[in-house]
Structure 1
């Protein structure tokens, strides 16, 4: 999967992010994701959440009386770079990684973390294969603070059946584990509900001109575009669709949850729908935390608080286990219920969160709000 990223070759960009008191850090943890490239906005969400969590944990006394040191790995959402990041985390003796972002990065990296006895919690990778395959292979040290494609796809598919049944639907995906995953789960849901897609097409997310795809949708008189892919291509597709006279409604997924989507697509993004977990940044109990981000001139959108929650829940479990050993912390995570900034968290045998929820949001003038149910 090619990305428009600064070339790092096989080397990994690992930056040292210091939390409060971390000049005396004794425990190394990591945050990994696309810190460069076209998905760098999501990498920043993960990094910002991780940095704030480390600072807060260190200010409160650290983990088992020790301070945390955060290593940040840039995978550019490329599987090869993700394995390089994972290997560097192992060699640096990291005990825990909050990451990665793309499922296509988390899946290969997870195998290295298992061998290196590093516990992994992804705030964002939703492909079911990540935890399903890990469970089948006996990997008990992988978790997520987000839901899965088979939950997100059901949410989007159910919304389509309720509000758009009888309309002509084009299901598009970018061929990535994430994009194809959410697209296929949505397809399963609408097909089960008696709705058949008019088109099912793959596209290349690095393309800049989608004229041929848009013409095909125009000929098919498409009413709804289901986008299984990331925001850079999504913004271009909806913008070019409007410019070329296609007025179809777009419905996407959690990868549209960044202000960059509206910056790319402009006014054409008005009315676009997408799924995402309940907006933790709007929860009154998180007001003080959100203000701390804003004081740093940063809006904690998207996966920022899911990243924050991943590190905080790991720290709480490590304190309860009185250990940072991956197996011990994993056992403690599965045995408990954790009150996090994204709500109560419980993990099942595979490491998935129990009872995940996705809401549907609508974009207007660059901002998102919950769509009518």
Structure 2
């Protein structure tokens, strides 16, 4: 009898040692490169809402490969030079993958470094078409994107504008960055097919304090809409100054409908606007509803596109680590390439030959001072 008791005790002790050993294993560290200061500081905070929620859920479910998941967040200031420094630091820190780099210019600047280091980097935010062109087998195999490019979003928007015939003349304004110029160029390409005439194009440096002269010129040209390609404070300042000057022209392009612009919408400043977007909190899918409720409970706010981008990017990385049963960069990369992933909007996506899973564009509108989803368009 004593022998059996002793054997059972030893088994429990050994199991406990094994369990403790698993708990003592070093965490799996995922890097995050984002603009915590600078033009996109607030949007980066929204991104981290999603990143942190995903990590919390993964760890609550037991972690990955029996190990806890941690994130290492570094500030790239939405600046290419800083993004290079951050990418090198994350490589030195031996992160297994990177969520980032938020801004298109920062992501493009980081791509060679992560490819040389064989560390996958995935974004759900950066939208410049060059990221698509440069990624995939035979190109940069370690850069991935889960959101559509500006080209894809503008194709969807152009088709909608062509079918609905809502705008005949459009003025373009964009920040002088890869995002601003890439978005404007993509819009110009689809405008002609949609029967839309571009009456003017203006670019401005980031953190421009005064848009009066640009707004005055635009008003004089009397366009049916203004297509904007701006982020963060510049977009907010432009819209606020437009309100102060009495500009009541609908917006299109990549304008944010809702979020921090909600007061302008409620004041009637964005009526009949139409925007190409990657996510909307009102999408009727069980997974999205649960996601929205969790973010609201934690942050007293609905999730934004950046929140979704951070959340699903981390979930892709986690699924790849599970599928590969490894934290080796090359194996994670292959697992991402081969996976079927169900995003938070309930859409099943795969990665194409340009390492993109950005299949769906959300077209948003403002009607009677309320934001709604006009359509969710699947793109090639």
Q: TM-score range by the shorter chain?
A: 0.7 to 0.9
CA-to-aligned-CA distance 1:17-48 (integer Å, 9 cap, x gap): xxxx9986421111221222342221112211
Aligned to 2:93: 92
Structure 1 pair 136/285, CA: closer, same or farther in 2 (3 Å)? closer
1:350 maps to which of 349, 354, 374: 354
* Structure 2: distance between partners of 1:136 and 1:88: 26
Q: 1:152 deviation in Å?
A: 0.9
**Taking structure 1 as reference, are residues 208 and 262 closer, same or farther at Cα in structure 2, changes over 3 Å only?**
farther
User: What is the CA–CA distance in structure 1 between the aligned matches of 2:253 and 2:129, rounded to whole Å?
Assistant: 18
Describe the shift of the 1:257–1:46 C-alpha distance in structure 2 as closer, same or farther (beyond 3 A).
farther
Task: Tell me: CA distance 1:242–1:298, structure 2 relative to 1, closer, same or farther (3 Å).
Answer: closer
Per the TM alignment, residue 276 of structure 1 is displaced from its structure 2 partner at its CA by 1.3
SS at match of 2:30: strand
Among 353, 360, 364, the alignment partner of 1:360 is 364
Residue 4 of structure 2 corresponds to none
Contact 2:145–2:355 (8 Å) recurs in 1: yes
Q: Tell me, which stretches of 5 or more residues in structure 2 are unaligned?
A: 1-21
Q: CA deviation at 1:183?
A: 1.4
1:341 to 2:321 alignment? no
Q: With the length of structure 1 as denominator, give the TM-score of the two structures.
A: 0.85
Cα offset, 1:264, TM superposition: 7.6
Per the alignment, residue 267 of structure 2 pairs with: 267
Match of 2:9 in 1: none
Q: SS at the partner of 2:49?
A: helix
Per the alignment, residue 18 of structure 1 pairs with none
State the SS of the aligned residue for 1:194. coil
RMSD value, Cα: 2.7
The answer (yes or no) to whether the contact 1:280–1:286 under 8 Å persists in 2 is yes
1:51 aligns with 2:52: yes
- Give 1:256's aligned residue: 256
Shift of 1:116: 1.9
**1:171 Cα deviation from its structure 2 partner:** 1.5
Higher Cα radius of gyration: 2
Q: Secondary structure at the match of 2:305?
A: coil
Aligned residue runs from structure 1 range 252-331, under 5 A: 252-253=253-254, 256=256, 259-262=259-262, 267=267, 269-271=269-271, 272-279=273-280, 282=283, 283-299=285-301, 300-331=303-334
Q: Which runs of 5+ in 1 are unaligned?
A: 1-20
- After superposition, give the CA deviation of every residue in 1:215-263 in whole Å (9 maximum; x if it has no partner): 211222222111122242233323333433433211131x626622345
| 8 Å CA contact 2:278, 2:305 repeated in 1 | no
Equivalent residue for 1:239?
240
Shift of 1:297: 2.9
Tell which deviates more after alignment, 240-249 or 326-335. 240-249
Match of 2:67, SS state, is coil
After superposition, what is the alpha-carbon deviation per residue over 1:187-211, rounded to whole angstroms, capped at 9, x for unaligned? 1111123332111222233212111
| TM-score normalised by L of structure 2 | 0.83
1:124-203 pair list within 5 angstroms:
124-135=125-136, 138-164=139-165, 167-203=168-204
| Residue 292 of structure 1, CA deviation | 2.7
Structure 2 residue matching 1:198: 3-state secondary structure: strand
Contact 2:39 2:207 in 1 (8 A): no
SS at match of 2:168: coil
Aligned equivalent of 2:17: none
Equivalent position SS for 2:342: strand
3-state secondary structure, aligned to 2:148: coil
Q: Which moved more, 1:259-268 or 1:203-212?
A: 259-268
Please report how far the alpha carbon of residue 277 of structure 1 lies from its aligned counterpart in structure 2 after TM superposition.
2.3
